[in-house]
Amino acid sequence: MTKAIYPGSFDPVTKGHLDIIIRSSKIMSHLTVTVLENPRKVATFDVEKRIKMLKLITGPYINVEVDYYKGLLIDYAQQQKVNIIIKGLRAISDFEFEFQMALVNQKLNPAIETLFMMTNSKYSYLSSSIVKEIAALGGDITSLVPPEVHNMIVSEFK
């Protein structure tokens, strides 16, 4: 069994997240997508909505589960007995922060490995913040978010 955790804020979920979920679920026997409460970020969507969005888009993938955790990722991975953490990597800008996080996590628990999956070139520009900015200004986010969550995201900004 190759189990992995894909953590993030998912505030809200985008096609970039879904792409990482689909590709990871193909190479892992089980994937847990975890909404991780980030004390540095004030979320726009509450945790329940983020979990609902993830459940809606991961429904078709039988080896994918959705979870929530508040605390240190490394503690969560240990509790779940999972030793692989998947992170998506977009541009150089993601690298420095993710590099630091991966090294710190390695220091905290060397048994847990962080694996980086390169973004799909179609979504390399895509982030939750961009989606929020466009939606808040009444722009069309159809091509940026999975259809199952489109209305939920739009109605948050009405």
Which parts of this chain interact with ligand ADP (CB under 6 A)? 8-10, 14, 16-17, 20, 87-88, 90, 94, 119, 123, 126-128
Question: DSSP readout, the chain?
Answer: --EEEEEE--TT--HHHHHHHHHHHHHSSEEEEEEEE-TTS--SS-HHHHHHHHHHHHTT-TTEEEEEEES-HHHHHHHHT--EEEEEE-SHHHHHHHHHHHHHHHHH-TTPEEEEEEPPGGGTT--HHHHHHHHHTT---TTTS-HHHHHHHHHHT-
Q: Which is nearer to ligand ADP, 8 or 146 (CB)?
A: 8
Q: What's the closest the beta carbon of residue 126 comes to ligand ADP, in angstroms?
A: 4
Contact between residue 41 and residue 10 where contact means Cβ atoms under 8 Å apart: no
Q: Which is nearer to ligand ADP, 129 or 151 (CB)?
A: 129
Q: What's the closest the beta carbon of residue 155 comes to ligand ADP, in angstroms?
A: 20
Q: What's the closest the beta carbon of residue 154 comes to ligand ADP, in angstroms?
A: 18
Positions marked active-site: 17, 41, 90, 128
The residues pairing with 37 across neighbouring beta strands, listed in sequence order, are 70
Q: Which is nearer to ligand ADP, 20 or 153 (CB)?
A: 20
Q: What's the closest the beta carbon of residue 149 comes to ligand ADP, in angstroms?
A: 13
